């Protein structure tokens, strides 16, 4: 319920949202306005509450991964990674190098798509619709890479406990390089169009300023904290996966206003592309050896038997849907510890041991059962520190799972940020936060 | 061991605070010393960021736990680049301790804990639900709240 005490009888109460085109993510702001100026406001969230944390207590660890896609749906791969890291920390699994490199590449691509949609939406709402169209095009190139690699565009569920779902396709390097080349060009155009645009500067400079002290007090992390000029990035300060092996810079703002947030995000996309380029080189060094396959196609075998021909005893060939899960890839992308990773599909289809292993792995009560304990694991998400607090009681479902959603903390400062500004400024300020309903409301 | 942790242990160790080192440093200050503890880590350790507040309901925990709820706080110190976890326990109807005067985001975080677990924070300026609607009965993340429980549709403004 909204709680707002009117400060003056002459003021007006204005309701913005929850179903308003610019309040993407469904959020409601009730503001007390004096003319056009906002005197006081109350923010209501929770319209997208789905009970993620309650659901997670009744699902096995593998079944939670698809739910994490829906937390921050603009960068699902980072969410997968964050959750998986928490479970792995509890289990103590060592992840092979190739899987870690793939994870970092996918993370950075997800970060770029996240920043693209945020910057595009914010600029669109200040009146420049062209940028939205350009940036959607750039996002499409990265989604093509996702589609080829993970099989889905948004709900990827790609990063799994102990590794990744499947190896990258053969043309992965070309696809990624093409996406990066195209995106660089688009970002350059947007930069020319917007960064020194008088209208955009007037709409964003000095708007929604938050001081360093307040940013810390509100628990800001990620691009919004860096826009105030505080140097903190988990990828640099507490490096996970292979972030210590790649070279990148952390862009910093000065004033903590909307323009700085835009600028920081634009620069971060370039840095992410640098990371991807370096990681692609690292990935090439870990390519699995190619096996000349003599496996038999099941359809052909059936036809031959029907015609009365004899079929030589050979291994069954995998369906094209399972590309990247063959034995030689499986070794490179999954951890060695057999207790925590699914068996390779070839061993499932060709041997009884593999089949039994697969059954035990997916059966409720038998799958992954971490030891009793608790863990807090964190990654640098699109909006800041994405943390997973996990308590395990030794069974195959978590006893408690709590998500530290970065935009929840950012949203708690919205009331202060819009105070004293005009109604028209609410939209760019809210846009610069990049509030994602799925993450804030869980 | 980091200097900060050493100093916190030195300062509060003689008050019989339990600690352990697994995943990250975890402190269990007694409830009465909790504010002293937060004062100290905020001023001395420069733990400027309150990362997270949550609670755990130990109703169905198979091993021995004396109290039902456990409050879990995570802090981050940018200066020393270190994270700590702070905990205290609460009985069923006991009130929690509010950090709203220390950290601004504690306001919403504590509202969320109240919404999900029904833990009331004493001295909180604005104790109301945040994610669920006001007509919702019960506290969904408590272990005795059934997963598939249904609640009646609430009346709209124009319904009679």
- Closest C-alpha to A383, from A248, A243, A226, A251: A226
| Average predicted confidence (pLDDT) for chain A | 86
Which value, to the nearest 10 degrees, does the dihedral of the CA atoms of residues B110, A67, A277, A116 take? -70
Per-residue confidence at A437, pLDDT binned at 50, 70, 90? Answer: confident
* Position with higher pLDDT, A438 vs A21: A438
- Closest C-alpha to B141, from B50, B73, B54: B54
Domains and CATH numbers, chain B: 3-122 (3.30.460.80)
Structure confidence at residue A383 (pLDDT): 87
b/e string for A288-303 if b means 16 or more Cβ within 10 A?
A: beeeeeeebeeeebee
Q: How far apart are CA A253 and CA A20, in angstroms?
A: 30
Shortest Cα distance from B121 to chain A (angstroms)? 18
Structure confidence at residue B62 (pLDDT): 65
Per-residue confidence at A357, pLDDT binned at 50, 70, 90? Answer: confident
- Give this complex's ipTM: 0.87
pLDDT for A308 beyond 60: yes
Q: Model confidence over A134-169: pLDDT tens digits? A: 888 888 999 989 988 888 888 888 888 888 888 888
pLDDT for A440 beyond 60: yes
- CB-based contact B144:B137 (threshold 8 Å): no
- CB-based contact A291:A237 (threshold 8 Å): no
Mean pLDDT within B42-46: 78
Strand order in the sheet with A385-392: A373-380, A385-392, A400-404
3-class SS of residue A304: helix
Q: How far apart are CA A103 and CA B100, in angstroms?
A: 38
Size of interface A-B (CB pairs under 8 A): 93
Mean pLDDT lowest among A135-149, A214-228, A340-354, B103-117? A340-354
**Residues sharing a CB contact under 8 Å with residue A242, sequence separation 6 or more, in sequence order:** A97, A100, A101, A104, A279, A282
Residues in chain B: 160
Structure confidence at residue A309 (pLDDT): 76
pLDDT for B15 beyond 80: no
CB contact under 8 A, B48 and A217: yes
Peptide bond into A18 cis (omega under 30): yes
Helix boundaries (H) for A70-219: 76-91, 97-125, 129-150, 172-194, 198-204, 212-217
Structure confidence at residue A24 (pLDDT): 76
Structure confidence at residue A112 (pLDDT): 92
CA distance readout (Å), A144 to A78, A172, A175, B20: 17, 10, 8, 47
The count of other CB atoms within 10 Å of the CB of residue B13 is 12
Per-residue confidence at A294, pLDDT binned at 50, 70, 90? Answer: low
Structure confidence at residue A312 (pLDDT): 65
pLDDT for B18 beyond 70: no
Q: Provide the terminal-to-terminal Cα distance of chain A, rounded to the nearest Å.
A: 19
Q: How many helices (H) and strands (E) does chain A have?
A: 19, 8
Mean pLDDT within A216-243: 88
* Cβ-nearest to A376 among B56, B85, B126: B85
Structure confidence at residue B159 (pLDDT): 64
Structure confidence at residue A424 (pLDDT): 86
pLDDT for B63 beyond 70: no
B17 in contact with chain A, both atoms CB, cutoff 8 A:
no
- CB-based contact A406:A384 (threshold 8 Å): yes
- For an interface test with B, the pick among A42, A92, A218 (most B C-beta atoms closer than 10 Å) comes out as A218
Q: How far apart are CA A228 and CA B89, in angstroms?
A: 36
Residue A237 with chain B: CB contacts under 8 Å: 81
- Closest C-alpha to B72, from B127, B125, B34: B34
CB contact under 8 A, A1 and B134: yes
Q: How far apart are CA A123 and CA A131, in angstroms?
A: 7
Task: Decide: pTM greater than 0.90.
Answer: no
Q: How far apart are CA B70 and CA B93, in angstroms?
A: 13
Give A222-265 as a DSSP string: THHHHHTT----HHHHS--TTGGGS-------SS-SHHHHHHHH
- Closest C-alpha to A436, from A393, A406, A391, A392: A406
CB contact under 8 A, A399 and B134: no
B136 in contact with chain A, both atoms CB, cutoff 8 A:
no
pLDDT for A15 beyond 80: yes
Measure CA A352 to chain center: 37
Mean pLDDT within B60-68: 73
Residue A402 with chain B: CB contacts under 8 Å: 52, 54, 72
- For an interface test with B, the pick among A224, A374, A377, A437 (most B C-beta atoms closer than 10 Å) comes out as A374
Q: How far apart are CA A133 and CA A312, in angstroms?
A: 56
CB contact under 8 A, B141 and A412: no
Bridge partners (DSSP) of residue A160 are A163
- CB-based contact A151:A318 (threshold 8 Å): no
Q: Provide the terminal-to-terminal Cα distance of chain B, rounded to the nearest Å.
A: 66
Residue B81 with chain A: CB contacts under 8 Å: 237-238
- CB-based contact A367:A62 (threshold 8 Å): yes
Mean pLDDT within A407-424: 88
Instruction: State what percent of residues in chain A have pLDDT above 90.
Output: 8
Residue in chain B closest to A59 (alpha carbons) equals B147
Domains and CATH numbers, chain A: 52-287+370-441 (1.10.645.10), 293-322 (no CATH)
């Amino acid at each position: 319920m909204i709680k707002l005490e009117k400060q003056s009888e002459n003021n007006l109460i204005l309701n913005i949202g929850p179903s308003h085109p610019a309040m993407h993510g469904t959020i409601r702001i009730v503001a007390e306005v004096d003319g056009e100026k906002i005197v006081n406001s109350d923010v209501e969230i929770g319209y997208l509450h789905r009970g993620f944390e309650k659901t997670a207590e009744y699902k096995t660890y593998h079944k939670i991964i698809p739910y994490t896609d829906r937390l921050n749906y603009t960068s699902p791969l980072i969410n997968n990674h964050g959750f998986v890291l928490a479970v792995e920390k509890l289990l103590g699994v060592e992840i092979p190098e190739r899987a870690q490199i793939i994870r970092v590449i996918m993370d950075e691509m997800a970060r770029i798509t996240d920043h693209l949609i945020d910057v595009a939406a914010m600029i669109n709402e200040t009146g420049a619709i062209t940028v939205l169209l350009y940036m959607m095009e750039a996002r499409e190139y990265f989604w093509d890479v996702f589609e080829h690699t993970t099989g889905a565009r948004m709900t990827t569920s790609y990063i799994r406990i102990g590794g990744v779902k499947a190896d990258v396709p053969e043309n992965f390097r070309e696809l990624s390089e093409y996406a990066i080349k195209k995106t660089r060009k688009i970002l350059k155009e947007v930069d020319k169009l917007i960064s020194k645009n008088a209208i955009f500067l007037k709409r964003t400079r000095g708007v929604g300023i938050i001081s360093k002290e307040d940013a810390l007090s509100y628990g800001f992390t990620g691009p919004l904290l860096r826009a105030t000029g505080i140097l903190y990035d988990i990828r640099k300060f507490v490096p996970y996966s292979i972030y210590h092996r790649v070279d990148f810079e952390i862009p910093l703002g000065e004033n903590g206003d909307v323009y700085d947030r835009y600028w920081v995000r634009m620069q971060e996309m370039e840095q992410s592309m640098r990371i991807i380029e370096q990681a692609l080189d690292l990935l090439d060094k870990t390519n699995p050896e190619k096996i000349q396959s003599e496996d038999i196609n099941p359809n052909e075998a059936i036809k031959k038997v029907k015609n009365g021909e004899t079929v030589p005893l050979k291994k069954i060939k995998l369906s094209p849907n399972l590309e990247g899960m063959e034995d030689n890839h499986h070794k490179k992308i999954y951890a060695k510890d057999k207790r925590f990773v699914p068996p390779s599909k070839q061993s499932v289809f060709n041997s009884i041991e593999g089949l039994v292993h697969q059954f035990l792995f997916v059966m409720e009560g038998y799958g992954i059962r971490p030891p009793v304990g608790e863990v807090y694991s964190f990654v640098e998400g699109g909006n800041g520190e994405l943390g997973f607090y996990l308590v395990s009681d030794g069974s195959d479902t978590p006893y408690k799972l709590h998500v530290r959603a970065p935009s929840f903390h950012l949203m708690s400062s919205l009331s202060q940020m819009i105070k004293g500004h005009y109604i028209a400024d609410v939209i760019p300020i809210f846009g610069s936060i990049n509030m994602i309903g799925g993450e804030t409301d869980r | 061991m980091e200097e900060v942790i050493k100093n916190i242990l030195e300062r509060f160790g003689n008050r019989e605070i339990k600690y352990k080192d697994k995943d990250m440093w975890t402190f269990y200050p007694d409830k009465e010393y909790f504010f002293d503890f937060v004062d100290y880590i905020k001023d001395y350790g420069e733990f400027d960021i309150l990362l997270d507040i949550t609670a755990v309901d130990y109703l169905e925990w198979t091993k021995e736990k004396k109290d039902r709820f456990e409050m879990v706080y995570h802090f981050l110190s940018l200066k020393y680049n270190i994270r700590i976890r702070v905990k205290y326990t609460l009985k069923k109807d006991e009130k929690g301790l509010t950090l709203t005067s220390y950290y601004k985001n504690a306001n919403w975080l504590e509202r969320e804990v109240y919404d999900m677990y029904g833990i009331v924070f004493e001295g909180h300026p604005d104790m109301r639900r945040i994610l669920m609607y006001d007509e919702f009965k019960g506290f969904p993340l408590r272990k005795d709240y059934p997963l598939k429980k249904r609640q009646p549709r609430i009346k709209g403004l124009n319904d009679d």
